[in-house]
């Protein structure tokens, strides 16, 4: 890890864990509205929005941050899903006036955070949104406000290099750690097509609009919300130990018996050692306070931590 783990000053980290898709053309807005779990039709130009892309069975194929950009949109998603999701979306363009491209290499993606991040970005010439999940564009690049003190910056490579020199370099894992603590999942290749949005708490982080109408898997997602009873939910957890015990996306969690009771969604190292993770787990296991282990029924012990929203 070349960058340092830091939570002091104004920190800046590259975000190689994310890919970017570009969706442009006269029908781009209507196309995305019909494909994603959230309302894109009424998304203002100065706002971003989380959305899921689901299979016909209502399971998340990708978790997205939708960013208006010029005459189209940028979709931020897991880097390992960028190419396959672009290919899948293209299959449904048909006669629509829409162009979909993978543009990960055309943008530098940076996370900037800290109590002084807002004035610091202003001081180097960026426009900074005041509203949460807002976005501002300028010649320097685009800035999206992820929460009170965290900003996503999309900029040309040369601008990003200057930004990284201006602020304290930090590890990408710290951005992931902040997402974990915010209870925001990132669907990656190992967990693709495994969870309906509600299993991953996606409706609780603003990723689903239940009034927007049809999209792939919409009927199942709506039925789960209004008629079903979820047996699994996403929880945040902690685990102590060396790098050899690091949780991996898609890895199973076990109770006392040799039968999996959960799946790791995302994980990151803690600043003070050990790891934190998000995992979809049988709710009964958590509610009953049963022991949870990583990898096998007698593997490293994990403990449940709090989320910033009620389940």
CATH assignment at residue 234? 2.40.30.160
Is residue 25 a contact partner of residue 96, using CB atoms and an 8 Å limit?
yes
The mean pLDDT value for 62-82 works out to 97
**Residues 164-214: tens digit of each pLDDT:** 888 999 999 999 999 999 999 999 999 999 999 999 999 999 999 999 999
The answer to whether residues 157 and 286 belong to one domain is no
CA distance 144 to 156: 15
Domain encompassing residue 208: 189-305
The answer to whether residues 167 and 234 belong to one domain is no
Give the total number of structural domains in the chain: 2
* pLDDT surpasses 50 at 7: no
Domain assignment present for 299: yes
Residue-level pLDDT at 165: 84
Domain assignment present for 270: yes
| Domain final position from 181, 207, 235 | 181
Residue-level pLDDT at 220: 96
DSSP letter string, 216-276:
TTHHHHHHHHHT---SEEEEEEEE-S-GGG---TT-EEE-SSSSEEEEEEEEEE-TTSSEE
Pairing label, strands 301-305, 141-145: unpaired
**Residues 87-124: tens digit of each pLDDT:** 999 999 999 999 999 999 999 999 999 999 999 999 99
The answer to whether residues 202 and 248 belong to one domain is yes
Residue-level pLDDT at 114: 94
Domain assignment present for 310: no
Is residue 26 a contact partner of residue 93, using CB atoms and an 8 Å limit?
no
**Residues 128-163: tens digit of each pLDDT:** 999 999 999 999 999 999 999 999 999 988 888 888
The answer to whether residues 207 and 155 belong to one domain is no
Domain assignment present for 3: no
Beta pairing partners, 267: 277
Residue-level pLDDT at 49: 98
Coil/strand/helix, residue 171: coil
| Domain final position from 119, 146, 181 | 181
What ranges in the chain are assigned the alpha helix state H?
28-35, 82-91, 117-123, 157-166, 172-181, 218-226, 283-287
The answer to whether residues 200 and 145 belong to one domain is no
> Considering the chain, what is the average pLDDT of its residues?
94
* pLDDT surpasses 70 at 301: yes
CA distance 77 to 75: 6
Residue-level pLDDT at 6: 43
Among candidates 196, 282, 281, 193, which has minimal Cα distance to 237? 281
The answer to whether residues 102 and 165 belong to one domain is yes
The answer to whether residues 174 and 210 belong to one domain is no
The answer to whether residues 297 and 210 belong to one domain is yes
* pLDDT surpasses 50 at 67: yes
Whole-Å CA distances, 135 to 47, 197, 227: 5, 25, 36
CA distance 136 to 126: 8
Least confident interval from 1-15, 143-157, 187-201, 222-236: 1-15
Residue-level pLDDT at 241: 85
* pLDDT surpasses 90 at 3: no
| Domain final position from 181, 201, 233 | 181
Domain assignment present for 196: yes
The mean pLDDT value for 260-269 works out to 97
**Residues 276-291: tens digit of each pLDDT:** 999 999 999 999 999 9
CATH assignment at residue 140? 3.30.1360.120
The answer to whether residues 49 and 171 belong to one domain is yes
The mean pLDDT value for 257-275 works out to 94
pTM for the full model? Answer: 0.95
* pLDDT surpasses 70 at 8: no
Residue-level pLDDT at 72: 97
Domain assignment present for 95: yes
């Amino acid at each position: 890890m070349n960058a340092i783990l830091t939570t002091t000053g104004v920190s800046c980290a590259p975000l190689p864990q994310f890919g970017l898709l570009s969706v442009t053309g006269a029908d781009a807005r209507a196309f995305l509205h019909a494909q994603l779990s959230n309302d894109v039709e009424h998304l203002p130009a100065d706002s971003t929005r989380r959305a899921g892309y689901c299979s016909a069975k209502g399971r998340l194929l990708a978790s997205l941050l939708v960013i208006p950009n010029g005459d189209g949109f940028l979709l931020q998603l897991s880097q390992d899903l960028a190419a396959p999701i672009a290919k899948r979306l293209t299959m449904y363009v048909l006669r629509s006036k829409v162009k979909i491209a993978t543009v990960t290499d055309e943008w530098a993606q940076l996370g900037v955070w800290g109590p002084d991040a807002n004035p610091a970005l202003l001081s180097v010439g960026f426009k900074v949104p005041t509203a949460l999940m807002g976005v501002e564009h300028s010649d320097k690049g685009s800035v999206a406000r992820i929460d009170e003190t965290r900003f996503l910056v999309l900029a040309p490579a040369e601008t990003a290099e200057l930004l990284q020199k201006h602020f304290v370099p930090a590890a990408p894992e710290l951005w992931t750690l902040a997402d974990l603590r915010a209870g925001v999942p990132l669907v990656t290749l190992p967990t693709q097509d495994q969870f309906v949005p509600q299993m991953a708490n996606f409706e609780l982080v603003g990723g689903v609009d239940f009034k927007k109408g049809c999209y792939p898997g919409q009927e199942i997602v709506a039925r789960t919300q209004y008629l079903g009873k979820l047996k699994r939910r996403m929880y945040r957890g902690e685990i102590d130990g060396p790098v050899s015990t690091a949780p991996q996306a898609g890895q199973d969690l076990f109770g006392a018996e040799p039968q999996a009771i959960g799946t790791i969604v995302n994980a990151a190292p803690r600043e003070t050692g050990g790891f934190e993770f998000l995992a979809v787990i049988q709710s009964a296991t958590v509610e009953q306070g049963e022991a949870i282990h990583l990898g096998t029924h007698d593997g490293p012990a994990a403990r449940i931590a709090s989320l910033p929203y009620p389940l």
